[in-house]
Amino acid sequence: MQISRRQKKLARKQLQYRNAQASTYATRTPFRDAERNFKSRLPPPDFSNVIDFSNIDKCREDIKSKIVEVELKVDLGEEFEKLFGRFDGIENINRKKAYCIKDLPGFIFIQNPFTPEAQKYIIKRCLKDFAKKPNLCNLDTHYVLPNQGIWELHEKVYKGQLNENDKEFFVPLKAASMEEITEQYIDNDESSPILKSNNQRVDSSLNAKSDIVKCLDNKEVQTKNSNSNERKFDPLPSATVPILSPLELIKKLRWVTLGYQYHWPTKTYHFDRRFDFPKDINDLATAVVKAIDGVGLKDGSFIHRYDAAKWKSEAGVINYYQLKDNLMAHVDQSEINMDAPLVSFSFGHSCVFLIGGLTRETPPLAMYLRSGDISIMCGPSRGCFHGVPRILEGTLPKYFEYNDSENPEWKIFADYMSTT
């Protein structure tokens, strides 16, 4: 892409202004500085310190010296071929090895062990099967989502089976629906207890439940918590959100929760809202946990010793990222059992992943996560700040694109993945 002289001049001015203002940032920390670097559009980010596990030889020497290649306890291809797919006549060495980082004990990286078809299977599951009741998603707060899920509605529109003249084309706003319910109660009984001020919370029984995804974090949790008996109110729906078409709404999908449902306002689990965890996703996570048993740094400073027999996937989050989305620095610490590893799978466009230390004051390491890559946080790294500041445009693998020889069913998924 050619950049005009005017654009170059503008970029220089923006860089000068940003450098001049950097010292005045109220939230300035090494982690925040790294996030700002990778979120920048003009000037473009500095990618020189990013770890690229798919091309380690081209990494800077100081970066290469931190990377330690290790052998997995089991070959993912031999023992779990049905989960990761079969490479006909091709040996996939990614299924036998992993990487650790000297400065980050407890972090384990497995380069894409999936076949393209295995990845497509999981993507379809995340969009079509998991993004519906009983699972919850971010859209549930403001919209009365259909029982069959927002993806099926999107499919009907995509195939021309539904258009804006049909009643079910637009998904109703939850705030408007609650208003109608309130009016009905006013008509029937003026003393009804449902009459509430706009600032009061609404009982969760009035909320529809549905769900959605990209990146999967499987976490082991327990059914006891210091606040497990406290009532957790759902966020109130807004009356100002717009009514959107199914295509616009599917692009607004940001997360879906699996298993134990997560209460985002308090960052705790709803222990009274537990749905069946998908068996295939549990099998994938379990396979990874078994494979990393005994993996660690060669100097013995860290060796992963979590008993895989104790592992059970009980909660998970599917994160859906569009090209301009990001996930700011955070720590996953809602689980009582912090000894269990946190397993994440990435599919679609590549991204920059940052992982630091126990505070934002620790400068983070940056690395590329490409489609199919698996990252595991266990041991000391389990409590580290991490985030995704940038989705990288133009990095979608070619096998996700639709062509005439492709199964026609994939076309709608290919269109969605082109920006995901």
Q: What separation in angstroms does the CA of 411 have from each of 36, 124, 248, 350?
A: 35, 11, 18, 21
And the tokens for 80? 């779990």
What are the tokens at 21?
Answer: 């203002």
Q: Do 316 and 282 meet the contact criterion of CB atoms below 8 Å apart?
A: no
Residue that is written with structure tokens 């999981």 in the block: 122
Q: Report the chain's C-alpha Rg in angstroms.
A: 23
From 263, 384, 356, select the one nearest 315 (Cα to Cα).
263
**Interatomic CA distance for residues 181 and 192, integer angstroms:** 11
Q: Is 386 annotated as a binding residue?
A: yes
CB atoms within 10 A of CB 49: 15
The Cα–Cα gap between 274 and 277 comes to 9
Strands 365-369 and 50-51: what pairing? parallel
Q: Checking DSSP bridges between strand 50-51 and strand 67-71, what pairing results, if any?
A: unpaired
DSSP state of 110: E
Q: Are 341 and 292 in contact (CB under 8 A)?
A: yes
Q: Measure the CA–CA gap between 246 and 148, rounded to whole angstroms.
A: 13
Q: Is 330 annotated as a binding residue?
A: yes
Q: List the structure tokens of 137.
A: 């998603």
Q: How many CB atoms are located within 10 Å of the residue 318 CB?
A: 27
Among all chains, which residue has been given the structure tokens 């379990």? Answer: 286
Place of tokens 């990222």: 321
Binding residues: 330, 332, 386
Binding residues for Fe cation: 330, 332, 386
